[in-house]
Amino acid sequence: MHIKGVMGALALAALPLAMSNVWAASAPEMTADEKAKAKQIYFERCAGCHGVLRKGATGKNLEPEWEKTLADGTKLEGGTLKLGTDRLEKIIAYGTEGGMVNYDDILSKDEINLMARYIQNTPDVPPEFSLKDMKDSWKLLVPVSERPKKQMNKVNLKNVFAITLRDAGKLALVDGDTHQIWKVLDTGYAVHISRLSASGRYVYTVGRDGLTTIIDMWYEEPKTVATVRLGSDARSVDTSKFKGYEDKYLIGGTYWPPQYSIMDGETLEPIKVVSTRGQTVDGEYHPEPRVASIVASHIKPEWVVNVKETGQILLVDYTDLKNLKTTTIESAKFLHDGGWDASKRYFMVAANASNKVAAVDTQTGKLAALVDTAKIPHPGRGANFVHPQFGPVWTTGHLGADVVSVISTASDEAKYAKYKSHNWKVVQELKMPGAGNLFVKTHPKSTHLWADAPMNPEREVAESVYVFDMKDLSKAPTRLDVAKDSGLPESKAIRRATHPEYNEAGDEVWISLWGGKTDQSAIVIYDDKTLKLKKVITDPSIVTPTGKFNVFNTMHDVY
């Protein structure tokens, strides 16, 4: 199943150079057909963690041969050739304690053998993608002048949910007031996130394959009005939200090529492409610094662009695209996902392989702190609340630890001055039943903090969500068995309960029950106050639902 991409971290042998043997092996031969098939599998399952050039990030380096020198001068070397086909097959099939998950339930024996051979060969370098390539891919399906001048439907747009139907390559727009599926639209493959225009009229999606779409919700039924390709591997997109720039620009980030692109916000016409290749925070050149999360500031005409491999956070000023001004802030490797603190002055981003969260002060354009956390923080966008003992806090779950970390923030300093000494520290760790959390969520009107654990190997844990009572955080969380509550018959594959998302009013929480491609999946809705089941949305069109984005909460970064 696709989720395996998240933790694909091969534990490859590393030996001090003095002890090593001369490389004896040569890469196994492969036919052109085998290579083409392996390349596709690598893109779908492996590249997210190991990188296109296989230099490693969340996952280990997968080059045939590599050497590196540690800070103390020790030289190390390793590589897939050293491990050989048999050992690699075992690692791919059964995983490792280092975080690589097993693929024996996804890939056939032949495919595992194919991949074991493929990664001993030199990585293929995919083509670059220029501004001209983007322009050639751009399709303006409906010019702005031909679009509705006012909303042509009666749907409460602010409470619509944009739901990724991952393996179907589609997006469902669901009416949050009636719980009815409003429209299912074609998108790129495995849309990673949806973002909203500042006006709340347009939904933007970005597929893993780089295809970006803009959907106009003012029609009687939502309609895709333009598409463009950003590159061959993408994860992030956001709009310009600052006053005077509403709906003006869109920015998209790509894993391959490593760059970000700026487009017209209403037509997606490509305007500018900026490479992120360059030096890491350790001073080494990196050829593949992928663009991870991107968010739009509410307090300045800027985007925060987080570059994974370099650990550099870019504040990109969009007031003058011809003379682009960028502030580059050093933080830590490898930057991944994150969200705003309650004041929307500080952006909190996970440097997951360093077990740190970087807090960027977007007002001063400087790093406020690097906070040490438990293993592999994975916040999604995180969750903000006022802690009874520590004041304003932002929380993150962890892929690699059985806790949710509560971090004190400097939000609204005048009001919360007495908590200053706690700022930028983990003030509490809330115990989860195991590791494997991906997302946490709360809402200003709620007293609950929701956490999922879809990557946990235990079915019981992965199919449930956990709800903490923020009035008394010493209590264990309440477990809600989402798979059972869905009423769907038991399935062979684990159906992962993931990505809690509030409705506009902040009184319902929507959970994706993410089954295999051929299983029936569901969206399971709970009453936030009583934690009772409210509604289950199942429909043959609900295929592999993952991320859900409520229009109002996404527009205003409510979490």
CB of residue 3 to ligand DHE, shortest distance in Å: 5
> Six-digit token pair at 137?
């891919």
CB of residue 338 to ligand DHE, shortest distance in Å: 7
Q: DSSP string covering 216-232, please? A: ETTSSS-EEEEEEE--S
Of residues 1, 2, 7, 49, which has the active-site annotation? 49
Of residues 336, 422, 448, 499, which has the active-site annotation? 336
Q: Which residue is nearest to ligand DHE (CB)?
A: 48
Which lies closer to ligand DHE via its Cβ, residue 197 or residue 423? 197
Cα–Cα distance list, 377 to 382, 405, 439, 449, 497 (Å): 10, 8, 10, 17, 19
Is 336 marked active-site? yes
CB of residue 166 to ligand DHE, shortest distance in Å: 5
Is 50 marked active-site? yes
CB of residue 425 to ligand DHE, shortest distance in Å: 24
A 10 A CB-CB count for 373 gives 23
Of residues 7, 46, 217, 432, which has the active-site annotation? 46
How buried is residue 348: exposed, middle or buried, by Cβ count under 10 Å (0-12/13-18/19+)? Answer: buried
Q: Is the Cβ–Cβ distance between 285 and 276 less than 8 Å?
A: no
Q: Is the Cβ–Cβ distance between 217 and 272 less than 8 Å?
A: no
Is 556 marked active-site? no
Is 263 marked active-site? no
Instruction: Round to whole Å and give the CA distance between 362 and 304.
Output: 8
Is 49 marked active-site? yes
Q: DSSP string covering 177-206, please? A: TTTEEEEEEE-STT--EEEE-TTS-EEEEE
Which lies closer to ligand DHE via its Cβ, residue 396 or residue 423? 396
Which lies closer to ligand DHE via its Cβ, residue 64 or residue 188? 188
CB of residue 208 to ligand DHE, shortest distance in Å: 6
Instruction: Round to whole Å and give the CA distance between 327 and 403.
Output: 34
Of residues 1, 2, 7, 50, which has the active-site annotation? 50
Which lies closer to ligand DHE via its Cβ, residue 346 or residue 416? 346
Which lies closer to ligand DHE via its Cβ, residue 82 or residue 235? 235
Q: Is the Cβ–Cβ distance between 427 and 387 less than 8 Å?
A: yes
The residue ranges that bind ligand DHE (CB under 6 A) are 2-3, 5-6, 48-49, 164, 166, 190, 192-193, 235-236, 292-294, 336-337, 380-381, 438-439, 499, 546-547
307 strand-pairing partners: 291, 312
Task: Return the SS3 of 547.
Answer: strand
Buried b (16+ CB within 10 A) or exposed e, 207-245: bbbbbbbbbbbbbeebbbbbbbbbbbbbbbbbbbbbeeb
CB of residue 301 to ligand DHE, shortest distance in Å: 18
Q: Is the Cβ–Cβ distance between 349 and 335 less than 8 Å?
A: yes
Is 286 marked active-site? no
Of residues 378, 443, 448, 499, which has the active-site annotation? 378
Of residues 100, 134, 432, 470, which has the active-site annotation? 100
Which lies closer to ligand DHE via its Cβ, residue 8 or residue 391? 8
Catalytic (active-site) positions: 46, 49-50, 100, 336, 378
